[in-house]
Amino acid sequence: MAEEKVIKPGPAGYIPQPASFLGVDTPPPGKALLYGEVVDEEIAMREAAKAMLTRRNPTIFPGPLVLWGYNTSAIEKAKAVLELAMEIPNCRIIPMPDYRPKYPKINPEAEINPNHPNLTILHNKIEACIFVGVHCHYANLSLRMIRAGTNCFTIALCAEMGHEDAMVSLRDVHADDIRRFRDVVVEMRKELGIEWEPKMPPENPSLPKEEWTNVSPLDFGEYAYLLLPRKGEIVEESE
C-alpha cells in the first residue's frame, strides 16, 4: 500500500480530479480497490467492514437493480443486502429508486438521488455508506460528488467491474459475495468487541406506509395519458 492514499474520504474540494485521471483503474477479476490501490478482496472487505462499524450513521444505498426485483438474482441480492444491514449496528437503508432529477428537491431522509447525492449524505451526517445495485454510470457520478463535498467513506459493491472513486470497491458482487461480506462484518465486529444482536434496520420514517390502495393515474403526472386507453381502444395484450 502506498504511503499516500490516492482515494480517501473527502471533502476533496470544489471539483476534484476523477480517480481515473489520477491513474486508478478498475480492479482485475478476483481483486478489489482499496483507496485506489489493487488489493485482495479480503483486505478490502475488512477495511470496508471496519468503516461501516466504526464511522457515524452507516447507511446502505440500494439502487434499482436491487430494489425492483427484475429477476430472481435481483430478489436474492435484495435479501442478502437486508441480511448485511441486520449485522451492522444502527445501519439505515436509504434507497436510490431511480435516477430522475427531482425538483424542487428530494426528501433527503427518504431517498438519495445521483444528481445531488451529497444532500442525503450531509443531511443525515452519513460517514460510511454502501452503494449496491446502482447502475455504474450513476454510481460513479454519485461517488465523485460525495468524495468532492463530504467526509463519507464510500463502499461500492458492484456487479460489474468496480468503481475507482470509491474508497473500497469490490467487483462481480452478487448475493453470495454480499453474504461473504456480511460474514466479514460479523468477524470484524467481534474483533472490535462491538456487541450487537442482528435486527432489521428501521423503517424509513419519511416514507408513508404503502398500502397499495392509493395509487392514482395522477401519480404519473404528464404521462398519465399513457396509462389510460383511448376511447374505443381495447388493449388485449400487454408485456
Q: Could you list the residues that contact other proteins (CB under 8 A)?
A: 15, 18-21, 25-26, 64, 98-101, 103, 114-116, 118-119, 135-138, 140-141, 144-145, 148-149, 160-162, 164, 223
What's the min distance (Å) between Cβ of 136 and other proteins?
Answer: 4
Establish whether the linkage from the previous residue to 28 is cis, with ω within 30° of 0: no
Q: Closer CB to other proteins, residue 109 or residue 172?
A: 172
Q: Virtual CA dihedral for 153, 159, 164, 170, nearest 10 degrees?
A: 60
Q: How far is the CB of 18 from other proteins (least distance, A)?
A: 4
With respect to other proteins, which residue has the nearer C-beta, 36 or 114? Answer: 114
Cβ atoms of 110 and 94 within 8 Å: the answer is yes
CA–CA distances in Å: residue 21 to residues 114, 165, 217, 221: 21, 11, 46, 41
Query: E strands within 96-193?
Result: 128-132, 153-157, 168-170
Q: How far apart are CA 9 and CA 155, in angstroms?
A: 11
Which residue's CB is nearer to other proteins, number 110 or number 161?
Answer: 161
Nearer to other proteins, 105 or 231 (CB): 105
Smallest gap from residue 83 Cβ to other proteins (A): 25
CB of 42 vs other proteins, minimal distance in Å: 23
100 vs 125 by CB, closer to other proteins: 100
Show the cell assigned to 224.
398519465
- Cβ distance to other proteins smaller for residue 14 or 212: 14
Q: How far apart are CA 34 and CA 12, in angstroms?
A: 17
In the complex, minimum distance from the CB of residue 171 to other proteins, in angstroms, rounded to a whole number: 10
Closest separation in Å from C-beta 25 to other proteins:
7
- Grid cell of 58 as nine digits: 452507516
Q: Which phi and psi angles does 2 have, rounded to 5°?
A: -65, 150
